[in-house]
Structure 1
């Protein structure tokens, strides 16, 4: 999004509170989960992993039932749209203004949600109960699968998550330095200036927040009890 200043600017709501809470929770949970695993604090690692599971379930549900900018239908675009956006971003055409995630950022969101969901799923079955550290669904898989899941959980998938987090940080720096656009501030305040004629997000009713949160809580509780 191109920064807008002056009398033509109109401040609109961009991100709802659930999206912002989930976003910053992810930012805090990923390093916390890494630290607890590295320091063999597995009880806390599994508790935090369960919180991450609940947030992921909520965010996926919110991607279908939430406010307009939170919905996957709003930001998952075709490969052609991604190419055109990237071309405009690097000066090969007019820079497209989008209310919400742009075409490239939308796929980044999907990739991170997918990788974190895979990481949590592997963690649910990973470990070895003989060593006192196993996911709540470890009993549903065989030893060899649990061993492989542990390897993927601790190495491959986690490293892929780090790659996408790194790309996310690079994109933030690019927008701030090259495009002169602070894309962090709207994720804190929920709003940003846009040109006249652009409208902000369409909010979702509060009951949908409660319904998605309850569904996530029920699923997490069921899994925590061993499904």
Structure 2
């Protein structure tokens, strides 16, 4: 069996996807810290939540128009394919080791979905003390309070659990000789030469900048609803 070291580097993760990944990771850490500190730090908690919303909307759009391996179409698997993967039945053309494997895809979709729920509940939240989300005035008082309960309770702990599983998976893959961190920094993976590279040129990055600007504008508009 040919080792990864003998394979040439292939661009798998485009720059916009890599930037999204690391900025989101930093924001999530900062959100946890500001939530635990509370008080004046909640101002930054709300601001960071809006940044995360812009990032998530960007990632959803980028999952449709981004580089080859960043598109959802490259890692949405049929149930039968997932079962084959779990059985270790890998066939030519599966490309499980290129972008996201079926389990990795589940992790990505679960994190995006839960983060969207967390941001959504934050937008309509009301802690009955000093902090309300910018969209709280559009919902009933009981709804805002219930959203806050989820946001600070089950939602927070499920999210932390998913993040912990994500980190454990990275460590397990590393122990098995597969480095998932470096490719998300450099964008490249050692892969067979017949594996197609993702698009990561100036046109691709320019499109990402336009999409991100539109997402940021949307989030600014949402933030102003609470003014």
Same fold flag (TM > 0.5)? yes
- Mapped to 2, the partners of 1:84 and 1:202 lie a distance apart of 29
Once the 2 structures are TM-superposed, how far is the Cα of residue 196 of structure 1 from its aligned partner? Answer: 2.9
Once the 2 structures are TM-superposed, how far is the Cα of residue 3 of structure 1 from its aligned partner? Answer: 5.8
Once the 2 structures are TM-superposed, how far is the Cα of residue 47 of structure 1 from its aligned partner? Answer: 0.8
- Mapped to 1, the partners of 2:79 and 2:144 lie a distance apart of 36
Once the 2 structures are TM-superposed, how far is the Cα of residue 72 of structure 1 from its aligned partner? Answer: 0.7
Q: 1:165 to 1:3 in 2, by over 3 A?
A: farther
Alignment equivalent of 2:190, drawn from 179, 190, 193: 193
Give secondary structure in 2 for the equivalent of 1:198. coil
Once the 2 structures are TM-superposed, how far is the Cα of residue 97 of structure 1 from its aligned partner? Answer: 4.1
Would you say the 8 A contact 2:122–2:151 is kept in 1? yes
Would you say the 8 A contact 1:68–1:74 is kept in 2? yes
Would you say the 8 A contact 1:20–1:188 is kept in 2? yes
Equivalent residue pairs, number: 218
Q: Which moved more, 1:194-203 or 1:164-173?
A: 194-203
Structure 2 residue 89 is matched with structure 1 residue 74: no
Q: Kindly provide the CA deviation profile for residues 146-174 of structure 1, in whole angstroms up to 9, marking residues without a partner as x.
A: 11000100111111111211221121112
Partner of 2:144: 146
Would you say the 8 A contact 1:3–1:181 is kept in 2? no
Would you say the 8 A contact 1:3–1:193 is kept in 2? no
Give secondary structure in 1 for the equivalent of 2:153. helix
Equivalences for 1:199-210 in 2 at 5 Å? Answer: 199-203=196-200, 205-210=204-209
Q: Kindly provide the CA deviation profile for residues 119-172 of structure 1, in whole angstroms up to 9, marking residues without a partner as x.
A: 0000000014x6321111111111111110001001111111112112211211
RMSD: 1.8
Q: TM-score under structure 2 normalisation?
A: 0.89
Q: 1:139 to 1:85 in 2, by over 3 A?
A: same
Would you say the 8 A contact 2:14–2:199 is kept in 1? no
Q: Kindly provide the CA deviation profile for residues 80-137 of structure 1, in whole angstroms up to 9, marking residues without a partner as x.
A: 212221221xxxx458643211122112111110000010000000014x63211111
Q: 1:191 to 1:135 in 2, by over 3 A?
A: same
- Mapped to 2, the partners of 1:134 and 1:74 lie a distance apart of 39
- Mapped to 2, the partners of 1:86 and 1:165 lie a distance apart of 22
- Mapped to 2, the partners of 1:162 and 1:30 lie a distance apart of 10
